[in-house]
Amino acid sequence: MRQNSSKINQLIKIWPQKTIAVQSWLSQMGFERQLVAAYEKTTWLNRIGRGAFVRADDQNIDWTGGLYALQKLKTLSIHAGGKTALALHGYAHFLPLGNGAPVTIFGIPNVKLPAWFLQYDWGVLIRYFTTKLFSQDRVLGLTTKELLTYSITLSSPERAILELLYLIPQAESFEEAKLLMEGLTTLRPDLVQSLLKVCNSVKVKRLFMLLAESCDHAWLDQLDLSQVNFGKGKRVIGEGGHFNSKYQISVPDRQAIYESESFF
């Protein structure tokens, strides 16, 4: 028992508080399944799903502690994005959001989230989307956010607003996107330029420019749109609304927004 106690103390030193540990990582650190099972019996750690554990002294772990495990321990190519990333960067005050707002996570195609992450009660709805939105440069515009004892990867504001626009109208609303865009006064034009060049969605690029120009942001003057492919043909977002001839896209008016928006 003394040996187990000494070893669990070693584990606690390398296991950040408020995060999930997965068995594959525990095994790499020298804690095989049999030893982990023994720790369960002595209540040093608790199982929350197949191959996933929390420290017994941790209470109220949130989804970021689970995301940490997926990114850092299982090295999955996923990140917090869209409206969730904007909220973590401090833009939530531009929206009528309360506690328990859905969490948006993006991944590349064929990357599946483990059952324990999807089934655990984080107290919020987890929405997971796989896309090829930036397939030429999958990590462009990703950044790191330091939390209390760990860090997670998430989209920069420049990338996050493009991801949010990608989800219109199926999972996000045009009206909320417009509200958020109004607050994005300090976007970095060089990063915006790079993201627009590699973005694979014509709809997203047209919507982005339409909303940014309606807000008359100062950083727009530093973009070179001749390097951005806006595609051909018309695009329609939702039913009804107004047609913008410059970007060849129909967007909902205020009334149509509330009549047609839908969420996953």
Q: What is the pTM of this model?
A: 0.90
Q: For the segment 101-129, what is each residue's pLDDT rounded down to a tens digit?
A: 899 999 999 999 999 999 999 999 999 99
Question: Is the alpha carbon torsion for 87, 88, 91, 96 positive or negative?
Answer: positive
From 3-12, 70-79, 185-194, 225-234, the region with the lowest mean pLDDT: 3-12
DSSP code, position 43:
T
For the record, the structure tokens of 97 come out as 């959001």
Q: For the segment 144-184, what is each residue's pLDDT rounded down to a tens digit?
A: 999 999 999 999 999 999 999 999 999 999 999 999 999 99
Structural contact between residues 55 and 18, judged by C-beta atoms closer than 8 angstroms: no
CA-wise closest residue to 248 among 209, 221, 220, 219: 209
- Distance, in Å, from the CA atom of 257 to the CA atom of 238, rounded to the nearest integer, reads 8
For residue 111, the tally of other CB atoms under 10 A from its CB is 13
- At 261 the pLDDT is 32
> What share of the chain has pLDDT > 90, as a percent?
75
Whether 137 has a pLDDT exceeding 70, the answer reads yes
- At 230 the pLDDT is 94
Output b/e per residue, 171-208; b: 16+ Cβ within 10 A: bbbbbbbbebbebbeebebebbbbbbeebebbbbbbbb
DSSP codes, 63-106: HHHHHHIIIIIS--SEEE-HHHHHIIIIIGGGTT--TTPPEEEE
- At 93 the pLDDT is 74
Report the mean per-residue pLDDT for the chain: 89
Q: Is residue 47 classed as helix, strand or coil in its secondary structure?
A: strand
Distance of alpha carbon 67 from its chain centroid, rounded?
10
What values do phi and psi take at 14, rounded to 5? -105, 0
Calculate helix-pair angle for 202-215, 157-166, nearest 10 degrees: 120
